Amino acid sequence: MKKLIFFWLLVAGYWLLNQGLALACPGCNDLTKFGKDAVQAMRFGKGIAWSMGLLFAVPALLIGTAAAAIVYRVRKTSRMQQNESV
């Protein structure tokens, strides 16, 4: 079991440290073209981070809002039915 865990840790480390995989992303590939201009590269990286955050947050927000609306309606309906039966 320990050998299997060690193997997967080595594989994950290789994937994380392999720059060729990072260049598969067009944004990461553009980031490497900036070279020594670290400020511009940092701004570019922050822009990518914000766009990815928004891309992940919007669907979660929409699904969460729809789920909250459904729960609210179900609870409201059940309360109304309990009040009518009393």
Clarify whether residues 7 and 43 are in a common domain.
Answer: no
Clarify whether residues 60 and 75 are in a common domain.
Answer: yes
Supply the range of the domain harboring residue 74. Answer: 37-86
Distances (CA, A) of 79 to 69, 74, 75, 83, 86: 15, 9, 6, 6, 11
Clarify whether residues 41 and 18 are in a common domain.
Answer: no
- Name the residue with tokens 């440290």: 17
Q: How far is CA 52 from the centre of its chain?
A: 7
73/2 Cα distance (integer angstroms): 51
Clarify whether residues 19 and 46 are in a common domain.
Answer: no
Average pLDDT value for residue range 57-61: 90
Clarify whether residues 42 and 62 are in a common domain.
Answer: yes
The better pLDDT of the pair 27, 76 is held by: 76
Question: What pLDDT does 5 receive?
Answer: 84
pTM of the model: 0.48
